[in-house]
Structure 1
Amino acid sequence: MDGQSIKRRAGRPTPEVAEQKRNNLILVALNEFARTGFHAASLRDIAEKAQVSSRTLYNHFPDKLALFEACLEHSGAQIRPELPDLKGDLHTQLITYATEMQRQLFSTQSTQMARLIYRESSEFDELRKIARLQFERHQVSPVARLLEAEGVDPAESHPLAKQFVVMALGEWQRRLLFGGELMTDEEMAGHAKLVTNIFLNGITSRIS
């Protein structure tokens, strides 16, 4: 029996088991943050609900902020459509991308996390910084890459991509802040098409 097997028998989990525990911690923490808010969430409660020891939690995440950042990273990765799956010309790809972003952001968990950030980031700037980084990484950067693939100068692709994403998420943000029914699939697709047409052609294309 080799040394690695002895260590595992002594209680050290395999890399696969450790990764499963980490992922489960993130999912449990997402629900807890969304339910109670960042400040009120208890790492002890999260560990208990994830059925791990506090020591295991701290082995993965040194503090609450690190765990929250991992939660946003997980959520952001779920929101971002996979670029290889986007088909068609740039117009079609942007419509698909904007529609999928809206669909994911209207999920219960995403909405709860967004409200948490709006509510608590004004008092805790670190939350705002983390959310901004996730927004840039998971919503803006993929669009910038789409634009660059069509020949847009990399020096201009990022600000253009940011403008597109802001436009695409405008209706979601309005309903989040002021209330309103969830958008239907038809409404999301229509909004994505409108935003994409204005983004690519300008508002003059809408004026007869």
Structure 2
Amino acid sequence: MKADANSTSGSGRRGRPSAESTRLRMAHLLEVARGIFVRRGYRATTMDEVAAAAGVTKRTLYAWHSDKEALFRACVMLGAERFPRIEPQAGEDARAALERYVLELHRELTCEDSYGMGALFLREAAEFPELAGSIQRGHFDFMVEPLAAYLRGQGLEEEASTERTMLFVAMALSPLHNAMLVGMALPGTAGVAAHARRCVSIFLDGSRLR
């Protein structure tokens, strides 16, 4: 009788891992790599260190990611895929949806690994300009463009443009940028909520004081 491909044979050899098993191992590897990049920085991180920490062989690591830059790009995309999408709830108008979006965006981007990856880029971008492409792609594809699509549907963004969207994102993320660039403290929950209301008010109503 022929042995099942995933069973252990009499010689002790195991079958090839399933697609789901491989997917989980690849996801685990990226989580481990993100943590190492955040702790040690891009320059100091080595492929050998990542392979050992993730429990995979160097051969496997290089089969999945051809070099450290490719691994970093994959780590950036993993984080970008976690950016919140603006999905209005029943009965929610644009003001409420945008305020909630800003809150969710801050919640995600102040997580230790997300914040750490952003800080890493600011520290090492001058030395490794090749990192910029993956950061910009993740920012645009997973944050700017989905938000722009929503705003166009609300009549708040020009067709084939993301200019107003990028202005809104810049306002929304200003507390994080202030923390990373000039060392200001990140606001607490109440501060983020107040910031979200101000951002949306300026975006929808203008900045004239009443």
TM-score (norm 1): 0.90
- Return the match for 1:154 from 159, 168, 171: 159
In the other structure, the counterpart of 1:82 is 85
Report the Cα offset of residue 7 of structure 1.
Answer: 7.0
Unaligned runs of 5+ in 1: none
How many corresponding residue pairs? Answer: 203
User: CA RMSD, aligned part only?
Assistant: 1.9
Higher RCO by CA contacts (8 Å cutoff, separation 6 or greater)? 1
In the other structure, the counterpart of 2:5 is 6
Indicate how the Cα distance of structure 1 residues 85 and 91 shifts in structure 2: closer, same or farther if over 3 A, else same.
Answer: closer
Report the Cα offset of residue 155 of structure 1.
Answer: 2.1
In the other structure, the counterpart of 2:144 is 140
In the other structure, the counterpart of 1:98 is 102
Report the Cα offset of residue 89 of structure 1.
Answer: 1.1
Indicate how the Cα distance of structure 1 residues 130 and 53 shifts in structure 2: closer, same or farther if over 3 A, else same.
Answer: same
In the other structure, the counterpart of 1:30 is 34
Q: Residues of 1 paired with 2:7 and 2:137: CA distance?
A: 37
Question: Does residue 111 in structure 1 map to residue 110 in structure 2?
Answer: no
In the other structure, the counterpart of 2:204 is 200
Runs of 4+ in 1 over 6 A off after TM superposition: none
Q: Residues of 2 paired with 1:2 and 1:75: CA distance?
A: 44
Q: Is the 8 A contact 1:77 1:138 kept in 2?
A: yes
Q: Is the 8 A contact 1:8 1:14 kept in 2?
A: no
- Return the match for 2:71 from 53, 67, 74: 67
Indicate how the Cα distance of structure 1 residues 122 and 47 shifts in structure 2: closer, same or farther if over 3 A, else same.
Answer: same
Q: Is the 8 A contact 2:172 2:196 kept in 1?
A: yes
Indicate how the Cα distance of structure 1 residues 86 and 165 shifts in structure 2: closer, same or farther if over 3 A, else same.
Answer: farther
Q: Residues of 1 paired with 2:119 and 2:29: CA distance?
A: 21
TM-score (norm 2): 0.89
Report the Cα offset of residue 192 of structure 1.
Answer: 0.9
Counterpart amino acid of residue 198 in structure 1: I
In the other structure, the counterpart of 2:11 is none
Counterpart amino acid of residue 183 in structure 1: P
Counterpart amino acid of residue 113 in structure 1: M
Q: Is the 8 A contact 1:140 1:165 kept in 2?
A: yes
